[in-house]
Amino acid sequence: MKKKVIFDCDNTMGIIGKDVDDGLTLLYLLGRDDIELLGLTLTYGNSSLEDVKKATYSLLDQLNIKDLKVFSDKEASIFLAEQSEKYKDELIVLATGSMTNLHSAYNYNNNFYKNLKEIYLMGGIIKPLVINNVEVKELNFACNPEAAYNVLTSPCKISILNGHTTANAIFGLNELETLYKKEGEIYRVIEKSIEHWVDRIYKKFNIEGFCNWDMAAAIYISHKELFSNEEVSINPTIESLKSGDLNLDINGSKKIIMPETIKDLDKFNSIIFQAFENFNKRCNHS
């Protein structure tokens, strides 16, 4: 049976100077045979909600994706809440931007979290996040700490791929070279969309490629064997979440799954390309 997933994201792939991982994650999800993507709910984080909507509709248009349900603003929270009732104990939410839509879904229906099977998140830190001597500020929880607190203290089962773990999800030089050699419209759209980001990351961090932050949370849904699977306790507060700090605490009030390592990065990246190729073939036969 396919996993029923709603992807809540702050996609900015295609906007110069903005991150590309949400868009790549969307294409990955569309290429998975084991995932039924029920819809896409848009939030802010990487940029404003208006930028996210603009980038997302542009990406969908470039790849002629017409059958994906997309929601934003109040409609996003209503869709999340209604789908959680429709698919009670089946629905998975993958959230990689601010937690605003999830919090609003709970306010719309207080059974929202109880209805979900699981929430997969990308975000949070447990100490300062430093990449090649450059500190990186947490964004996804920090941009709306009240909403993040509401999600993280909910009764739902939660898995978090934090900033430290996902910083190791490098889409590097070998992957870039593979991408550039591939034939198909999806690859040309990706190549054009990530060019500025590859250049920006090299200048800032001296890394060939980029961190595929959000992709890690998506891959974890289907491939937990690629990760260590630590259960930890957290005791987040609105104040700690203003910097994205999950506040690890052995006596914490909330137990979550928070993988510490990606065991096989080559396999991780090969799974991405498999999904891209699946999606590319579907586009060619549509």
pLDDT truncated to tens, each residue of the chain (286 aa)? 899 999 999 999 999 999 999 999 999 999 999 999 999 999 999 999 999 999 999 999 999 999 999 999 999 999 999 999 999 999 999 999 999 999 999 999 999 999 999 999 999 999 999 999 999 999 999 999 999 999 999 999 999 999 999 999 999 999 999 999 999 999 999 999 999 999 999 999 999 999 999 999 999 999 999 999 899 999 999 999 999 999 999 888 899 999 999 999 999 999 999 999 999 988 765 5
Beta strands 134-135 and 170-172, pairing class: unpaired
| Residue-range definition of the domain harbouring residue 236 | 3-170+213-278
Among residues 122, 113, 109, the alpha carbon closest in space to that of 216 is found at 122
Q: Which pLDDT value is given to residue 285? A: 58
Q: For residue 94, count other CB atoms closer than 10 A to its CB.
A: 25
Q: Which pLDDT value is given to residue 281? A: 87
Is 178 a domain residue? no
Q: Which pLDDT value is given to residue 115? A: 98
d(CA 71, CA 135): 34
d(CA 210, CA 115): 36
Is 255 a domain residue? yes
Give the chain's domain count. Answer: 1
Is 181 a domain residue? no
Q: Which pLDDT value is given to residue 286? A: 56
Is 63 a domain residue? yes
Among residues 211, 213, 188, the alpha carbon closest in space to that of 201 is found at 211
CATH number of 249's domain: 3.90.245.10
Q: Which two tokens stand for residue 99?
A: 């937690």
Is 187 a domain residue? no
Total count of residues recorded for the chain: 286
Is 203 a domain residue? no
Q: Which pLDDT value is given to residue 107? A: 98
Is 251 a domain residue? yes
Region class of 22: left (phi > 0), else alpha (psi between -120 and 50), else beta: alpha
Beta strands 118-122 and 91-95, pairing class: parallel
Is 248 a domain residue? yes
Backbone angles phi, psi at 121, to 5 degrees: -125, 145
